[in-house]
Structure 1
Amino acid sequence: MENQFEKTEKNGRAHFPVGKILTYALLTLWAVIVLFPFYWMLLTSVKSYSAYNSEYIPKLYTLAPTLENYKEAFTAVPLARYFANTVIFAVITTALMVIVTVLAAFAFARLKFRGRDLAFTLFLALMMIPNELVVITNYVTITNLELRNTFAGLILPSVTSVFYIYLLKENFAQVPDQLYYAAKVDGTSDFRYLRRVMIPICKPTIVTITILKVIECWNSYVWPRLITDDENYFLVSNGIQEIRENGFGRENIPAMMAAVVVISVPLIILFLLFRKKIMEGVSRGGTKG
């Protein structure tokens, strides 16, 4: 019996490296598949227009990289203005969304009022409504308010999120009730308790939804494209179409890729800097108890 156990253990050790090698090989292959489009985008952006068009078979390298495409990306169209508009849109929208989300999540998680559970259930039911219907309703509302081609029209429909409220509400619910009751005994107001206790404890989740909202705003395309036709309010996402149509043309792919690289780099840096915070916040928000 003992010899059989030792034999099984040795066999297990013998097969373990093979499984580990196979796992790393598959992960490496998947990483190459995922990262190759980014490599191709960066490579194309440093190729000259003539070199790119002369390649009958695309090459995976270039011996004469150039930054001329990046210069053209900023001079052919007002890309800097698109960046400024996007920063304004992302910062204001995210700030308002965080305020609304924190207050709503605190109300659903800690305050006691009649119909709270029913209201929260109906609130979650909004996630079942297709986004297309929401876009149509928002478009009609913003148009009737004469807010097209304004930052207010861009920002207002994006200042709340059912999912982020749900995520933060679940995180708030993990904070022990005893802390709240002790604070009330000491005469602490609900707002002060939220500011001094709940927010510091749940900071990772708040940071997470903040970062995710910034990324969402930066990538927003349908709504800005629908509600704005004035170039002064274009964001980087829908500015790409303007670059393609009225900038350096559909054929100048290297210059287009340079513009896409410039637009993508801030999000990549943001994710790399805060990826641990994002993972920590999502895991805390999804764990009960």
Structure 2
Amino acid sequence: MKSKFISKGFIYLILIIGAAFILLPFIWMISTSLKPANEVLTVTPKWVPSEIRWENFKIAFKSAPFKRYFFNSVFVTVMVTVGELITTILAAYAFAKVDFKGKHIIFSLLIATMMVPGEVLIIPNFVTLSKLGWIDSYKALIIPWCGSIFAIFLLRQHFFSIPDELYYAAKIDGCTDFKYLWLIMVPIAKPAIITLVILKVIGSWNSFIWPLIMTNSEEMRTLPVALSNFSSEAGTEYHILMAAATMIILPMIILYIILQKHIISGVSKTGIKG
């Protein structure tokens, strides 16, 4: 009994230390966003500012066209998420329930592409979109991200867990394959779909490298790229930069905290069947 208690205590200690390492950068970011300028780069770090400066957020908001950046981020995130949902649901259904020649070979090749680092594809993708004339447009920010092999794999595994007897029963009632997918399989796979939506929204909202490379004008840039406005050759106002970063990151943190149970539920129910 005593050894079991010690073992649990050790596990909790490791989890607390891990959580501290993850949370400390966020705590420091919020603390810095509320500091006066003279307390940001002190020799002895100050976790609690001597004076809380809420006006840092107001200055950060006025230092860049945040309304335009916010619209771009919301629009791109929504369109990318909707596009990925459509392609993922259709592809996952095809790989899970439809028999066609070369299905397993094609799926294996798609899974193999997940081993290719995304950074390797940036230059070829840039050249391709440049030839198409899509640079500095919503098409460059949205269309390349409307598909995800990981999302297809995750949803395919969930579709595998749905018994085929439901399909046969639906066919007897005169249900078409398309109706069966959207009226029966999609509602059953709701936990996995919600998981994919949450992960895609967070990933798209926080995307930095791709919008930075694919956009040239302020009218097309998204919120993470706005952080570059606070750094110049003259230096960086870190308290203002951290205030801007807090405004950008906080919505996603709140979203994740509220919906984290759906992520856990979706992944735990997916399994590795198939």
TM-score normalised by structure 2 residue count: 0.94
- Residue of structure 1 in register with 2:21 after alignment: 33
Kindly provide the amino acid, as one letter, of the partner of residue 170 in structure 1: Q
Structure 2: stretches of 5+ with no match in the other structure: none
1:185 aligns with 2:172: yes
Q: CA deviation at 1:78?
A: 1.2
Q: Secondary structure in 2 aligned to 1:148?
A: coil
- Residue of structure 2 in register with 1:207 after alignment: 194
Distance 1:230 1:146 in 2: 15
Distance 1:185 1:114 in 2: 26
1:254 aligns with 2:239: yes
Cα offsets for 1:127-147 (capped at 9, x unmatched): 233323322222122111111
1:42 aligns with 2:30: yes
Whether the 8 Å contact between 1:47 and 1:66 is mirrored in structure 2 is: yes
Moved over 6 A (4+): none
Q: CA deviation at 1:15?
A: 3.0
- Residue of structure 2 in register with 1:6 after alignment: none
- Seen in structure 2, the aligned counterparts of structure 1 residues 183 and 152 have a Cα distance that, compared at 3 Å, is same
Deviates more, 1:26-35 or 1:139-148: 26-35
Whether the 8 Å contact between 2:91 and 2:152 is mirrored in structure 1 is: yes
Q: CA deviation at 1:117?
A: 1.9
- Residue of structure 2 in register with 1:286 after alignment: 271
Larger radius of gyration: 1
Q: CA deviation at 1:47?
A: 0.6
Q: CA deviation at 1:241?
A: 1.4
Deviates more, 1:13-22 or 1:222-231: 13-22
- Residue of structure 2 in register with 1:220 after alignment: 207
Q: CA deviation at 1:16?
A: 3.0
Distance 1:32 1:133 in 2: 33
Trace 1:40-189 onto structure 2 (pairs within 5 A): 40-53=28-41, 55-189=42-176
Q: CA deviation at 1:122?
A: 2.2
Distance 1:34 1:244 in 2: 25
Q: Secondary structure in 1 aligned to 2:40?
A: helix
Distance 1:192 1:240 in 2: 45
- Residue of structure 1 in register with 2:5 after alignment: 17
Whether the 8 Å contact between 1:48 and 1:68 is mirrored in structure 2 is: no
Distance 1:253 1:45 in 2: 8
Q: Secondary structure in 1 aligned to 2:28?
A: helix
Kindly provide the amino acid, as one letter, of the partner of residue 82 in structure 1: Y
Distance 1:110 1:33 in 2: 43
Root-mean-square deviation (Å): 1.7
Q: CA deviation at 1:48?
A: 1.1
Q: CA deviation at 1:260?
A: 0.6
Distance 2:4 2:105 in 1: 52
Kindly provide the amino acid, as one letter, of the partner of residue 248 in structure 2: I
Aligned-pair identity (%): 39
- Which of 233, 243, 263 aligns to 2:248? It is 263
Kindly provide the amino acid, as one letter, of the partner of residue 95 in structure 2: F
Distance 2:63 2:242 in 1: 14
- Residue of structure 2 in register with 1:4 after alignment: none
Distance 1:279 1:221 in 2: 26
Whether the 8 Å contact between 2:35 and 2:50 is mirrored in structure 1 is: no
